[in-house]
Amino acid sequence: MSKKISNIFVDDGGAGSVPVVFIHALAGNTQQWSAQLSHIRKTRRAVALDLRGHGQSVSPANGDYAIDSMAQDIQMVINQLGIERFILVGHSMGGSVAGAYAGAYPQRVAGLLLVDPSGDSTQMPVEEVQQYLGALESEAYSNVINGYWGQILTGSAETTEAKVMQDLRDTSKATVVGVFKELFKYNPVPALKRYDGPKLSVITSLNETPFSLHKLVSTLPHEMITGTGHWLQLDKPEEFNRIMDDFLASVDNGSLH
């Protein structure tokens, strides 16, 4: 069932054991989880939401795209849905939002599954960051963002590339630039360290950098899926779903801490 809660679009369905809540990447939307939603809803409730300024959700009038503000949107949605405790899944920038939520409300999160999550971009050289943001804010925006998305889509299926690039075109420049500005000044490590529940990071080869989360947080186990681009859940849904199922089972059984 699709509905708006405040200004946030929510796709909610299924019933059963501990619900799963999905948070998409920058310039993504609920549909980037379609293979996961249909799979999970056979046995349990699954909720996906469009973050502010994405998909069918409204852009914030004050231009607030702070990671912690988007984490508060999760809190608002799950409270309205009457969900007490759930497993949280976040992809890329959505991984930062999911981690921020888990750090703020650890008692609500039964398990945290990160999908090729953003690392600690505060460790990037300041000049490099300023140069990139300057290019994004200029008239060269389309060339710059298309070039970057093209890089992280390397290895993706044609259907994935077509979907992801259309979603990027459908997301406003103000949203993309606003989120990038917040990501570059957000260190996800402290929040992640505050969450001591079950967690796993499913990564691609793109996520082997010095400031990747699994390199910075010793308590974060990781598994790699090869032969995909950054949107691994779209490229290899069956392999991703198998890893996700194992994680959900371990959370349900209390065997993963």
Determine the Cα–Cα distance for residues 51 and 100; give it in Å rounded to an integer: 14
Q: For the residues of 103-120, what is the DSSP string, one character each?
A: HH-GGGEEEEEEES----
Mean pLDDT of the chain: 96
pLDDT given for residue 186 in this prediction: 96
pLDDT given for residue 255 in this prediction: 56
CA distances from 204 to 29, 32, 222, 227, 238 (A): 20, 17, 10, 8, 15
Look up residue 44 and give its two tokens.
């349990």
Q: How many domains does the chain have?
A: 1
Query: Which residues span the domain enclosing 10?
Result: 2-253
Q: What is the mean pLDDT of residues 198-212?
A: 94
CATH number for the domain that contains residue 212: 3.40.50.1820
CA 24 to chain centroid:
4
For residue 81, count other CB atoms closer than 10 A to its CB: 17
pLDDT given for residue 1 in this prediction: 83
pLDDT given for residue 257 in this prediction: 44
Strand-by-strand arrangement of the 222-224 sheet: 2-5, 8-13, 44-49, 17-23, 86-91, 109-115, 199-203, 222-224
Look up residue 207 and give its two tokens.
């996520």
Q: What is the mean pLDDT of residues 5-29?
A: 96
Residue % of the chain over a pLDDT of 90: 93
Determine the Cα–Cα distance for residues 138 and 255; give it in Å rounded to an integer: 50
Q: Where are the beta strands (DSSP E) in the chain?
A: 2-5, 8-13, 17-23, 44-49, 86-91, 109-115, 199-203, 222-224
Determine the Cα–Cα distance for residues 84 and 5; give it in Å rounded to an integer: 17
